[in-house]
């Protein structure tokens, strides 16, 4: 293999404590100045190719760069998310980390045993049974047959496919494909686990099993690289995340900041599309200019105690008079889960026409959210509820911990006892 343009893997077999992570964890995946080019045929048919053969100036293909100049280091024991719009290069990068694709330029290096769940059916031979595919996948990873024998029952139990294990996989549903593939991947004792959006195929119960297993791997210090369109899932599971756009790394850092960066890309694209549809119209006629969150009667501070009232004050602007409009807000916790939100339309509060600017105040009585950071998004919408302007992460507050409760909400609870027979 050409070391300058290929992928080099070091120590793909066997596990060492060094690869398991810890203080000063070594880099287990290194991506250096990697680019990937695909050649796209422009001919619709063989006949067209023959008819136009030899014609000057006629190109039958064009180059498409899926990735350009990507640099990335992933330390042992970390969980990294890859996010970005469709076609941004997420799956291409994951496939190159997994050794399924070779970079056109640049180098990918890996350390430790690697297991990949890249795409539906990958690594499965359709004419073999589920049982035979288990052994086939394991042999590719260099796992001896006696080890697979010892783990086979665990694989079968996790997959939940029962007697279908002895059926050819070409007769499997997409969900059965994923369950078996994931069961094999996690039972090959990997140092690095690569997971693409395939988890979205399984049912809710199986997805929970997969998430629980990923968290178990994290506790064991294994390395995970995850592609997901679920931004809440990325914030919940990942230490850091990489934002890809047009094949380039736009951001790499803490998962929440990465998600915010990605949302800004999506918002910018939405505004660009709106302007392209009607270039004479201001794509942002309305704005949320200021958001203030505080406990009334207390000096401004970030900490909110359980049971405190909370006041959210939002200032809006609109370039043209707006007769009917709604003001609202959303509150998310640090995992990106919506814990509360409302707007004037929902509570049938009719606002005066917005001509220039206006301020709307929301007073919440005795907030009882779970402990930790919370983020406030404020929005301006039309009478149908369509967003005119949305300002994400406009304000932040931290709910103080209450040791008498667990979970994301606190509900007044009366406890009584009865010792009568």
pLDDT band at 229 (very low <50, low <70, confident <90, very high): confident
Residue 316 has pLDDT above 60, yes or no: yes
Q: What pLDDT is attached to residue 17?
A: 39
Identify the pLDDT of residue 14: 37
Q: Could you report the per-residue pLDDT of 366-391, keeping only the tens digit for each? A: 898 888 888 899 999 998 889 999 99
Q: How confident is the model at residue 350 (pLDDT cuts 50, 70, 90)?
A: very high
- Cα–Cα distance measured from residue 331 to residue 375, given in angstroms and rounded to the nearest whole number: 6
State which H helix or E strand residue 319 sits in.
Answer: strand 310-322
pLDDT at 207: 78
CB 321 within 8 A of CB 355: yes
pLDDT band at 354 (very low <50, low <70, confident <90, very high): very high
71 contacts 32 by C-beta, under 8 angstroms: yes
CA 69 to CA 61: how far, in whole Å?
23
Percent of all residues in the chain with a pLDDT value above 70, rounded to a whole number: 83
pLDDT of residue 9: 36
Q: What average pLDDT does this structure show over 88-110? A: 94
Rounded Cα distance, 112 and 159, in Å: 25
Residues 6+ apart with CB under 8 A from 121: 169, 177, 181
Tell me, what's the pLDDT at 29? 96
**Mean pLDDT, to the nearest integer, of 133-140?**
86
The residue that leads in pLDDT, 243 or 143, is 243
Contacts of 294 (CB under 8 A, 6+ apart): 300, 301, 310, 311
Stronger pLDDT, 293 or 52, i.e. the higher one: 293
Q: pLDDT-based confidence at 333, cuts 50/70/90?
A: confident
User: Which of 87, 76, 80 has its CA nearest to residue 24?
Assistant: 76
What is the dihedral angle through the alpha carbons of 98, 100, 106, 108, rounded to the nearest 10 degrees? 20
- Per-residue pLDDT for 8 more than 50? no
φ, ψ (nearest 5 deg) of residue 97: -65, -40
Mean pLDDT score, 311-328: 95
Question: Is residue 262 scored above 80 in pLDDT?
Answer: yes
Please give the residue that has the higher pLDDT: either 261 or 327.
Answer: 327
Q: Which two tokens stand for residue 173?
A: 């549903």
Q: Is 168 exposed, middle or buried (0-12, 13-18, 19+ CB in 10 A)?
A: middle
Regarding pTM above 0.85, the answer is no
**Structural tokens at position 363:** 């007073």
**410, pLDDT greater than 80:** no
| Residues facing residue 249 across a β-bridge | 244
User: What pLDDT, on the 0 to 100 scale, is given for residue 363?
Assistant: 96
Report which of residues 411 and 11 the model is more confident about.
411
Specify the pLDDT at position 2.
39
State the average pLDDT over residues 88-99. Answer: 93
Average pLDDT, stretch 286-296? Answer: 94
Please provide the average confidence, as pLDDT, over all residues in the chain. 83
Q: Are 73 and 27 contacting, i.e. CB atoms less than 8 angstroms apart?
A: yes
Could you tell me the residue ranges of all domains in the chain?
Answer: 7-40+61-113+190-261, 284-399
On whether the CB atoms of residues 115 and 17 are closer than 8 A, the answer is no
- In the predicted model, what is the mean pLDDT of residues 103-110? 96
Give pLDDT tens digits for 172-218: 988 888 888 888 888 888 899 999 876 666 667 777 888 888 899 99
- The highest-level CATH class for domain 7-40+61-113+190-261 is alpha beta
What pLDDT is attached to residue 15? 38
Q: Which CATH class is domain 284-399?
A: mainly beta
Stretch 221-233: mean pLDDT: 89
Decide if 223 contacts 30 (C-beta within 8 A).
Answer: no
Close Cβ partners of 255 (under 8 Å, ≥ 6 residues apart): 81, 234, 235, 238, 239, 240, 241
DSSP codes, 204-236: HHHHHHHHHHHHHHHHTT-EEEEE-S-HHHHHH
Structure tokens at 371: 């402990």
236: pLDDT strictly greater than 60: yes
Region of residue 375 (left: phi > 0; alpha: psi -120 to 50; beta: else): beta
pLDDT at 272: 63
Alpha-carbon gap, residue 145 to 151, rounded angstroms: 10
| Domain pair 7-40+61-113+190-261 / 284-399, same fold | no
Please give the residue that has the higher pLDDT: either 4 or 64: 64
Q: What are the distances in angstroms from CA 257 to CA 84, 91, 154, 231, 336?
A: 13, 21, 38, 11, 11
């Amino acid at each position: 293999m050409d070391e300058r343009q290929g992928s080099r893997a070091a120590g793909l077999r066997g596990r060492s404590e060094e690869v398991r992570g810890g203080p000063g964890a070594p880099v287990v995946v290194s991506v250096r100045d990697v680019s990937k080019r695909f050649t796209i045929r422009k001919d619709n048919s063989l006949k067209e190719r023959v008819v136009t053969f030899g014609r000057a100036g006629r190109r039958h293909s064009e180059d498409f760069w899926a990735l350009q100049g990507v640099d990335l280091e992933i330390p042992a024991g970390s969980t990294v998310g890859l996010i970005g719009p469709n076609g941004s290069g997420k799956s291409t990068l994951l496939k190159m980390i997994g050794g399924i694709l070779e970079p056109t330029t640049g180098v990918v290096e890996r350390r430790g045993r690697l297991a990949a769940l890249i795409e539906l059916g990958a690594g499965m031979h359709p004419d073999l049974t589920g049982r035979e595919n288990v052994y086939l996948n394991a042999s590719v990873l260099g796992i001896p047959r006696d080890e697979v024998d010892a783990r086979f029952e665990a694989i079968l139990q996790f997959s939940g496919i029962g007697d279908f294990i002895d059926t050819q996989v070409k007769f499997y549903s997409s969900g059965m494909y994923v369950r078996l593939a994931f069961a094999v991947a996690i039972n090959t004792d990997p140092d690095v686990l690569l997971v693409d959006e395939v988890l979205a195929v399984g049912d809710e119960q199986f997805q929970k099993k997969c998430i629980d297993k990923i968290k178990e791997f994290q506790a064991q210090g294994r390395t995970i690289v995850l592609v997901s369109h679920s931004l809440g899932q990325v914030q919940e599971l990942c230490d850091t995340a990489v934002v890809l756009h047009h094949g380039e790394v736009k951001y790499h850092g803490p998962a929440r900041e990465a998600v915010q960066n990605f949302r800004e890309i999506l918002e910018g694209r939405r505004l660009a599309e709106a302007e392209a549809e009607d270039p004479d119209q201001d794509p942002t006629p309305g704005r949320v200019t200021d958001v203030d969150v505080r406990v009334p009667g207390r000096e401004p501070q970030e900490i909110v105690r359980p049971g405190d009232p909370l006041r959210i004050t939002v200032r809006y602007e609109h370039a043209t008079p707006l007769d009917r409009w709604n003001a609202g807000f959303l509150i998310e916790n640090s995992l990106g889960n919506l814990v509360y939100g409302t707007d004037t339309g929902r509570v049938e509060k009719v606002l005066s026409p917005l001509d220039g600017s206006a301020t709307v105040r929301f007073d919440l009585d005795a907030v009882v959210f779970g402990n930790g950071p919370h983020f406030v998004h404020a929005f301006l919408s039309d009478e149908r509820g369509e967003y005119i302007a949305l300002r994400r992460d406009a304000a932040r507050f931290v709910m103080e911990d209450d040791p008498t409760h667990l979970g994301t909400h606190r509900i007044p609870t009366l406890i009584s006892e009865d010792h009568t027979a």
